Structure 1
Amino acid sequence: MVSSSSPSCNLRSLLERLLELRQQVVEGSQKYLAAWGCLTSPPAAIHNLARYLALRQQDLRSLQLELAAAGLSSLGRCESRVLESLDAVIAILAATQGLTHTAPSYEEFYAGDTALEQHAEALFGPPSPHRRARIMVTLPSEAAEQPELLLQLLERGMNVARINCAHDEPSVWEKMVAHLRQAEAQTQRRCKILLDLAGPKIRTGPVAMPPGKTKVYRGDRILLTAKVPEASAGISCQVTCSLPEVLAHLQVGASVWIDDGKIGARVVRIEPAGVVLEVDKVAPQGKKLRAEKGLNFPDSQLQIRSLTDKDCQDLDFVVRHADLVGYSFVQQPADLQLLVSELERRQARPDLGLILKMETQRAVKNLPALIATVAGCRPLGVMIARGDLAVEIGWLRLGEIQEELLWICEAAQVPVVWATQVLDQLTKEGLPSRPELSDAVMSARAECVMLNKGPYLLEAVALLDELLARMQTHQHKKSQRLRALYSWR
């Protein structure tokens, strides 16, 4: 008689649990497909995404330990192949019990990885010969007057040129595009162009401070208003909001962040003149409150049109010149449908790709539904805009959320752009910091890495090109690549 602790009994128990888990995944995925309106013949990527979300509703940590101890896959790298991973393990366990279960073929097992690479190529163009991750570069204004800059960027490894529509104007962008096309002809290298829509940027306007006061400190009160009024009793300072309609959506207790999170405050009172904030997070030495700084409202459901009038005007330029369009402040499927309808109205070519920028909590929560909205319609990518996102969700959660975004996108076969402050010190000062080198190493798991402009941009592109090439021999997405070690052979 076999004891309850025998290997045979343990394997039988694992098989039963995995079969039950597989059934839960299959049934649970239907809930997501129904919510997205994709129950009838969903694309393979969306079906896998639904299965992945169903799988991740379970706490699998103890099961993973048991699977690993039995020499089996612990399902820790199943993003692109949920059922295939389960079936591969179930087939092995079934064989130990004299049973049969169909295992996926090699091609079936890696079909999701292959599709992701195809989608990345459709979006960003073919990869450089020595690395899979592309490099996106935000073009400075000087690129309109210095054609040699585009040539040098291409020679150092730029794959995608980003033009930020929040800066300059169409006549300047047109010069940048012309110089890039000329550089392509000289180098015989193709480079995609991303036009990044400005979106409804919420910023501070004119600031009024009491006489002799230059900074705000913890405990100070700020009146956030549509128009700077006469001085109010007990108010430390006053500042206008560039989109005053958002003030109507703020409630007492809601958090407000100013200047990329350098000043944190909460709403303590609503007045006819505006909203009174009390500063609760700021450096001990205080912080100057300036105009043209970002405002974030992570606790508030802002009803703001995701496409501004300026964005719609810029779309006329986009459909003529861009390969990709970046969508700021996209938060729900209706926002995405609005952009798609505007592109269709302008008869944009079908291969014009969309880059959805993850900047808010709401966007993160709705990402699967956003992906399902345009699945199979246009090339689609996701940008992890870590600056605004960190302010919105909190610095403490940024690390885990950027990981989850990578997993969700891999499950949906959607390429990712890793953005914000990559090699920032190198780009601005000429020497990288140790932490930003580690961050750049982590960025190799994305399909594209974005650099911002700075006086040492060329050096940053060259370093990132080499770093990404080195790292891909060690890691692919979450999977370690066990090539021979350099130092101990």
Structure 2
Amino acid sequence: MMGNELPLDTGHADLLERMIGFRADVAVTARGILERFGLSDGEATPELRNLAAYLAIRQHDLRPLQRELMWRGYSSLGRLESRVVPTLDAVIANISALAGQVSAVPAPSEQAFFAGEAALHQATDALFGIPPANRRARIMVTMPSTAATDPEMVLACARAGMNVARINCAHDDAMTWRAMVANIRAAARVVGREIAIFMDVAGPKIRTGAVKSSTGKAKLLPGEALRLVADDEPWVDERARFSAQVSLPEIVTRLSHGDRIRYDDGKLEGVVETVVGGEAIVRVTHAKTGGTKLKPEKGLNLPDTELGLSPLTAKDEGDLATVVECADMIGYSFVSRADDIDLLEEVLARHDRQGSPLGVVAKIELPEAVRNLPALIARVGGRRPFGVMIARGDLAAELGFDRVAEMQEELLWICEAASVPAIWATQVLEDLMKTGLPSRGEMTDAAMAARAECVMLNKGPAVVETIGMLDGLLARMDAHMFKKTPQLRALKSW
């Protein structure tokens, strides 16, 4: 086994012996990972075998080995996500040559070395369609309700560079969605290229319902108490001056003392003090400077609570009839376990879709989904086009803002290892979208998004301008980076 205890330079022969042993150890661990997925090495696709090898190699602290390889001019192993075994084989073959030995493994061909990249390109095209000529990453745009009645707005988005149109099935109805789809398809014909349609089923989103405050327009501050009620009207007293209904009443009874609650993407955080009958008292621990106003229809995240909810509601199952008819891919909200993939497949099997298979995008919103992402990918197993959405808003509320930046990187690495296209979502260029003027921070965030295969924009009054700016930024970043790998084009600023 390799870990922090690795000695540094002891000569090529010793390094070669350790690398051969390391490769064998990775292979054994990877087979065990595939077995946990219910697959043998022979049954797994090349992409799943590489994912298993990546999970195996990342069980080790590679930092000492990276430095030892780096100063010798070998691969540092820092960009092996899509090619774990080929990278190890290339290193072993080169060390063998310098050690004057016949390599125990053949050096990979160029085709074998870059096979994971090729598989990712193919999977991305299968999910989103052919990319534009000027950039690799697609641009997904959330359609407002007016997209059903304003075909010129949809056409303007298409002309600005929209590649995927997102319809949020949490809003509007089937008649409105069909009108949106008709306008999107018409815009695609005018611009002469495909625009994929992504329909996002709502899932069991937990939100505030009716709210009440004994203090008029006052805001919740740290130390205040908030009463959450299940079936009753919200009510206030001396214990809690603020109260809100919960959209899924059963959630209130599943809360326990000490459970954390985050409101409106983390604008407020509290801890459950008591749960009695159909109400819970929550003590506010964090809020925005000046306080947070309690409003209806705002999201609630419960990172410590076992929710026990199906990711498909009765409404979702009804909506899927329209989704199957109209969409190129479905956004699967609140998926968290491999069995959730089987549940969706059972529902889709009841709808006789003809032609190309419906793509599925797993929205990673919950800590359990993060932990189970490799198993989710394995359960799909290449049955249909598949992608992952990094839903950074819910992830930040579930994991905490201090973890989300680190976690979005790790999710990108796992997706690349499995040749699964990733969507970078939530608040991309939000200030630009709403006000027409971007912040410096969000421009940097959008540039980092170029490492994903698709970048999602929400809706706003400056949508066309935002698409255009993102289109140019992604094209420029393509010349600098592919995933984690610098492209090293010539610099022209000096």
Same fold (TM over 0.5): yes
Q: How far did 1:214 drift?
A: 2.1
* Structure 2: unaligned runs, 5 residues or longer: 1-7
Q: How far did 1:90 drift?
A: 0.5
- Structure 1 runs of 4+ off > 6 angstroms? none
Residue 303 of structure 2 is aligned to residue 302 of structure 1 = no
Q: How far did 1:235 drift?
A: 2.2
> d(CA) in 2 for partners of 1:472 and 1:230?
55
Partner of 2:442: 436
Across the aligned residues of Structure 1 and Structure 2, the Cα RMSD in angstroms comes to 1.4
Partner of 1:82: 84
Distance 1:8 1:273, change over 3 A: closer
Which stretch shows the higher mean deviation, 89-98 or 342-351? Answer: 342-351
Aligned runs of 1:245-284 on 2, under 5 Å? Answer: 245-284=250-289
> d(CA) in 2 for partners of 1:41 and 1:312?
32
Give yes or no for contact 2:217–2:293 (8 Å, CA) kept in 1. no
Q: How far did 1:297 drift?
A: 0.3
Q: How far did 1:462 drift?
A: 0.7
Which stretch shows the higher mean deviation, 237-246 or 457-466? Answer: 237-246
Amino acid at match of 1:291: P
Aligned runs of 1:419-458 on 2, under 5 Å? Answer: 419-458=425-464
> d(CA) in 1 for partners of 2:63 and 2:215?
59
Residue 39 of structure 2 is aligned to residue 33 of structure 1 = no
Partner of 2:18: 17
Residue 332 of structure 2 is aligned to residue 327 of structure 1 = yes
> d(CA) in 1 for partners of 2:180 and 2:233?
39
Distance 1:19 1:206, change over 3 A: same
> d(CA) in 1 for partners of 2:290 and 2:10?
65
Give yes or no for contact 2:389–2:422 (8 Å, CA) kept in 1. yes
Q: How far did 1:431 drift?
A: 1.1
Identity %: 50
TM-score by length of 1: 0.96
Give yes or no for contact 2:9–2:15 (8 Å, CA) kept in 1. no
Give yes or no for contact 1:306–1:329 (8 Å, CA) kept in 2. yes
Distance 1:33 1:239, change over 3 A: same
Give yes or no for contact 2:274–2:282 (8 Å, CA) kept in 1. yes
> d(CA) in 2 for partners of 1:13 and 1:249?
57
* Structure 1: unaligned runs, 5 residues or longer: 1-6
Amino acid at match of 2:296: A
Partner of 1:214: 218
Q: Secondary structure at the match of 1:287?
A: coil
Q: How far did 1:38 drift?
A: 1.2
Partner of 2:244: 239
Q: How far did 1:231 drift?
A: 4.5
Q: How far did 1:206 drift?
A: 1.4
Amino acid at match of 1:254: D
Amino acid at match of 1:197: V
Residue 408 of structure 2 is aligned to residue 402 of structure 1 = yes
Give yes or no for contact 2:222–2:284 (8 Å, CA) kept in 1. yes
Deviations 1:381-422 (A, max 9, x none): 000011111111110111110000000000000000111111
Distance 1:15 1:232, change over 3 A: same
Partner of 1:359: 365
Deviations 1:167-206 (A, max 9, x none): 1111111111111111222221111100110111100111
Partner of 1:3: none
Q: How far did 1:8 drift?
A: 8.8
Query: What number of residue pairs does the alignment pair up?
Result: 482
Distance 1:129 1:245, change over 3 A: same
Amino acid at match of 2:210: P
> d(CA) in 1 for partners of 2:145 and 2:217?
35
> d(CA) in 2 for partners of 1:59 and 1:95?
26
TM-score by length of 2: 0.95
> d(CA) in 2 for partners of 1:9 and 1:231?
72
Which stretch shows the higher mean deviation, 206-215 or 59-68? Answer: 206-215
> d(CA) in 2 for partners of 1:10 and 1:242?
65
Q: How far did 1:210 drift?
A: 2.2
